[in-house]
Amino acid sequence: MRNKSNGEPCVQNKSDNIGPRASNSQITLTEHRITVLLVDDQAMIGEAVRRLLATEEDIDFHYCQDAGLAIRTANQISPTVILQDLVMPEIEGLLLVRYFRANEATRDVPLIVLSSKEEPRTKAEAFALGANDYMVKLPDKLEVLARIRYHSKGYINLLERNEAHNALLESQKKLEVRNQFIRDTFGRYLSDDIVDSILESPEGMKLGGEKRIITVMMTDLRGFTAIGERLPAESVVSIINNYLEVMTEVILKYQGTIDEFIGDSILVIFGAPILRDDDAQRSVACAIEMQISMNEVNRRNREAGFPEVAQGIGINTGELVVGNIGSEKRSKYGVVGRNVNLASRIESYTVGGQTLISESTLKSCGDILRIDDQMEVMPKGFKYPITIYEVGGIAGDHNLFLPEKKKIELLELKQPLPVRFTVLSGKHAGEDMLDGTILKVAAGAAEIRADTAVDRLTNLKMSLFDDEGYEITTEMYAKVTSNLPDSPPVFRVNFTSVPSEAKAFFKYRYNF
C-alpha cells in the first residue's frame, strides 16, 4: 500500500527542518533530537500518529508504509525510537522485529510494537525477539508521548555515552601517537626512563629535585684530545659517534640513565629516575662490559682507517640532588652535587682500559668484585685523601671479568732516549718544560728518569727524541702509574696517546 496523500511509501513530518541523517556512529551530541519512525501499512494510522506528534517541537516524525523499505529508511534517518505494526501485508510483523535487531544501525534502537488487541503470547514473543515495549493502537496521546520520550531518552543517553567513549578512545589514540612521536624524537637525546617520567607523570616537567643515593659513572676516551688535533673534524665526529653508539647499547642494557654526552665523555646515572636495589652493582657490571665492548669499537675504527682508542671509567656512589634543573624555557633532567665531581675526578686518574671506583661504590657492591689494585689519592677540592679501587670483574648474577692483568716487561735501553715533558692540569699543559730520559720501554709503557719528581697519576704531555737528539714527536701523552725509590727520581708511565710517527719509530727501533 502507498500513502494516499502523496503516493510515497515513506513520508516525513517537518520536512523543511530535517533531511536524511548520518549513521549513529557519525551523530554528534548537538544532533540528538527525538526521531520517530512509524512502520504501518495503514495510512490512517500514519496520519493519526502524525497529528499526535505534530505539536511537539523536539520530535521529528517519519512514516513508512512499505515494510520492505523500513530497514533502508531507518538506516537513512537514524531513529531514536521505532513504532512498528505487528500485522503487515508483505511481511509478518515479528519477522520485521528480527530484521531490525539483526541490522547493525537499528540493533539498539528502542522498538515499540503496535497491535490492534492484547495478545499475551504475541507480546511475549515480541519481547523475546528484542522489542522494548507493546501498545494497543491507537493509544491516548499522553501515553504515546510518554513512551516515546522515555525510550528515546534512554537511547540518546546510550548514544552520548558511546560518543563520549569513542571520543575518549580517539583522544587516547591521539595521545599515544603524540607520545610515540615524543619518544621517537627525544629518545635520541634522553634515556627512555626520563622520557617515560616526563610523559607519565603530571609533575614530569616541573622544575625541582630530591635528594637520593645515586651511583654516577663518568667515561672518557683517554688521549682523544691529541687524536682529535691530528684528524679532520668529520673523522673525529665519526670516531666519537662509533664509540657512543656501542656504549649506549651497553648502558641501556644495564638500565643506566644517560644524563649527558660531553664530547667523547658520557655521564651516566644509576638510581634515577628509577631507584633500584642493585644500582651500584649494575653500574660496575655495565663498566666491565663497556670495556669489553671497546674491542668492537676498535674493530670498526680499523675498518674505517681510524686509530684505535681506549676508555677510562670512574664510578662513585653517594647522595645527590636529582630532578629537572634549569628554567621554564630551558631545563634538563640531571644530577647535582659533589659526588658527581668526585666521579669525574676518579675517572681522571684512569688509564685506557681501566675502571676505578670509590670506596662507597665498593661497599655498595659487596664482596663480588675482583679488585686488581687500590691507591690513595687526593682529589682537587677534597680536604682528605681517599682510596680508589681498580675493578677487574664482578661475580654473582653478572659474572663479567676482564683478562687478568699481566706484568709489563720493559726493555732496558742500551742508549736511553731523551724526552721533554710538561705536567697537564685538566686538559691544559703547564708552562714549565722538564727534561727526562727513557731508561726502559715497552708497548704502551716506559720508565723515565728525571731531575724532578712527578706524583703518581699525573698526566704528562711529552716530546720524544731519538738517541741522536732528533725530534720524533711533540704530541705524546702519558700518565704516571708508579714512582720508584731511586735518586734522581724514576717513575713509570702508561702512554695514553701515541702518534703514528712515534709508533713507527718504536716498531722500527724495538719491534713493538
pLDDT 10s digit of each residue in the chain, 512 long?
333 334 456 765 543 333 444 444 444 444 568 889 998 888 888 888 888 888 888 888 999 888 778 888 888 888 989 888 887 776 777 888 888 888 888 888 888 888 877 778 878 888 888 888 888 877 788 888 888 888 878 777 777 776 666 777 777 777 676 666 555 555 554 556 666 665 665 454 454 578 899 999 999 998 887 788 888 999 999 999 999 999 999 999 999 988 888 889 999 999 988 888 999 999 999 999 999 999 999 999 999 999 999 999 999 999 998 877 766 666 677 788 899 999 999 999 999 999 999 999 999 999 999 999 999 998 888 888 999 999 999 999 999 999 988 888 899 999 999 999 999 876 556 678 899 999 999 988 999 999 888 988 899 999 999 988 999 999 899 999 999 988 889 999 999 888 889 999 999 988 88
- Which residue range is the domain that position 153 belongs to? 10-162
Burial class (CB in 10 A: 0-12, 13-18, 19+), 219: buried
User: Hey, what's the cell of 428?
Assistant: 691544559
Q: Does 199 map to a domain?
A: no
Model pTM above 0.85: no
User: Hey, what's the cell of 160?
Assistant: 552520548
Domain count along the chain: 3
If asked whether residues 371 and 447 sit together in one domain, one would say no
CA distance 512 to 510: 6
Element (H, E) at 289: helix 279-303
Helix-then-strand count for the chain, H and E: 12, 22
If asked whether residues 85 and 231 sit together in one domain, one would say no
- Write the single-letter amino acid at 124: A
Q: Does 182 map to a domain?
A: no
CATH number of the domain residue 35 falls in:
3.40.50.2300
Question: Which of 405, 404, 403, 397 has the alpha carbon at shortest distance from 284?
Answer: 397
If asked whether residues 356 and 417 sit together in one domain, one would say no
If asked whether residues 393 and 301 sit together in one domain, one would say yes
CA distance 109 to 74: 10
Q: Does 366 map to a domain?
A: yes
Strand partners, 483: 491
If asked whether residues 233 and 148 sit together in one domain, one would say no
If asked whether residues 340 and 417 sit together in one domain, one would say no
CA atoms within 13 A on the CB side of 82: 31
Q: What angle do CA 145, 149, 151 make, to 5 degrees?
A: 120
If asked whether residues 395 and 418 sit together in one domain, one would say no
CATH number of the domain residue 381 falls in:
3.30.70.1230
